[in-house]
């Protein structure tokens, strides 16, 4: 899932200063699962903003809507009947959703209420960690299911580096060294001979270095 963090309250309040009719938009997908921007978080933030503005003597009207998805036109279009009742949209969806709603309603500003952070997993209830960077050329078969692009601070392909100590990364002693995990896995599966193979330089053009990416399936186009 895409994991996001809510922006600091002061930053949100500052963005909303000129407005008194706000549509607070949530998303039922990833940001609901990572407890950042689902209907529950929309209700809490709406309440918080109302309380703050009431205290400041500048009351605000907030519409609370959570779409099934903010990254699909069929759901984004459902905002059409009422989006113009509001001066501005404050979105708790990920960066994709924020932009996509803005593209559909060019006469309305869509402000971000979250910082979109990473592609991750729920490690335990209330804890999410990063697993993928969407580099566009997966090598998990070579590293036995542990991604060095994401989980190694240097994204190195022939590790570990000299900063790995006791299985931990030098960047932060709480971060496991990805290459330590990979070597453990090679050992577990009795595949140490594979570990000794030198990995060539990675072609990063499939990643962000090649500009924004696009996927097309002609058979699905209507």
The sign of the torsion formed by the CA atoms of 154, 171, 134, 188 equals positive
Of the residues 51, 138, 139, 192, which one makes contact with other proteins according to CB under 8 A: 51
CA angle, residues 189, 175, 7, in degrees to nearest 5: 130
Work out whether 40 is an interface residue with other proteins (CB under 8 A). yes
**Nearer Cβ to other proteins (40/187):** 40
Of positions 11, 14, 21, 48, contacts other proteins by CB under 8 A: 48
Of 11, 54, 139, 209, the residue at the interface with other proteins (CB under 8 A) is: 54
In the complex, minimum distance from the CB of residue 58 to other proteins, in angstroms, rounded to a whole number:
11
- The nearer residue to other proteins, 9 or 82, going by C-beta atoms, is 9
| Residue 14 binds to other proteins (criterion: CB under 8 A) | no
| Residue of 21, 44, 140, 191 that binds other proteins (CB under 8 A) | 44
In the bound state with other proteins, the residue whose beta carbon lies nearer, of 52 and 186, is 52
As given in the structure block, the two tokens for residue 36 are 């950042």
DSSP letter at 195 equals: H
Q: Is the omega angle on the peptide bond into residue 52 within 30 degrees of 0, that is, cis?
A: no
Told to check if 58 binds other proteins by CB under 8 A, we report no
Q: What is the Cα–Cα distance from 75 to 108, expressed in whole angstroms?
A: 17
Helix (H) or strand (E) holding 50: helix 39-55
> CA-CA distances (angstroms) from residue 155 to 24, 138, 178?
37, 13, 9
Q: How far is CA 219 from CA 90, 157, 216, in A?
A: 36, 36, 9
Residue 49 as a binder of other proteins (CB under 8 A): the answer is: yes
Q: Running DSSP on this structure, what letter comes out for residue 129?
A: E
> Total binding residues for other proteins by CB under 8 A?
14
Q: With H, G, I as helix, E, B as strand and everything else as coil, classify residue 46.
A: helix
**Cis omega (within 30 of 0) for bond into 100:** no
Q: Considering the rule CB under 8 A, would residue 94 count as an interface residue with other proteins?
A: no
Of 43 and 65, CB closest to other proteins: 43
52/157 with CB nearer other proteins: 52
- The piece of 52-60, 154-162, 168-176, 189-197 that touches other proteins (CB under 8 A) is 52-60
Q: Which residues bind other proteins (CB under 8 A)?
A: 9, 40, 43-44, 47-52, 54-56, 59
């Amino acid at each position: 899932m895409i994991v996001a963090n809510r922006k600091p309250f002061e930053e949100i309040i500052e963005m909303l200063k000129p407005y008194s009719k706000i549509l607070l938009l949530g998303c039922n997908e990833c940001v609901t699962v990572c407890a950042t921007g689902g209907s529950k978080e929309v209700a809490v933030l709406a309440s918080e903003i109302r309380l703050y503005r009431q205290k400041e003597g500048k009351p605000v009207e907030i519409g609370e809507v959570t779409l099934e998805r903010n990254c699909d036109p069929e759901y984004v279009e459902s905002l059409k009947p009422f989006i113009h009742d509001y001066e501005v949209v404050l979105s708790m969806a990920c960066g994709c959703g924020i932009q996509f709603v803005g593209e559909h309603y060019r006469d309305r500003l869509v402000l971000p209420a979250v910082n979109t952070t990473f592609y991750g997993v729920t490690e335990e209830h209330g804890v999410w960690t990063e697993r993928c960077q969407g580099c566009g050329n997966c090598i998990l078969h070579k590293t036995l299911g542990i991604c060095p692009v994401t989980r190694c601070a240097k994204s190195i392909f022939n590790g570990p580096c000299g900063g790995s100590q006791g299985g931990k990364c030098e960047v932060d002693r709480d971060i496991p060294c990805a290459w330590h995990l990979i070597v453990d896995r090679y050992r577990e599966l009795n595949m140490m001979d594979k570990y000794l193979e030198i990995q060539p330089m990675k072609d990063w053009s499939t990643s962000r270095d090649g500009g924004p990416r696009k996927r097309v399936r002609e058979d699905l186009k209507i």
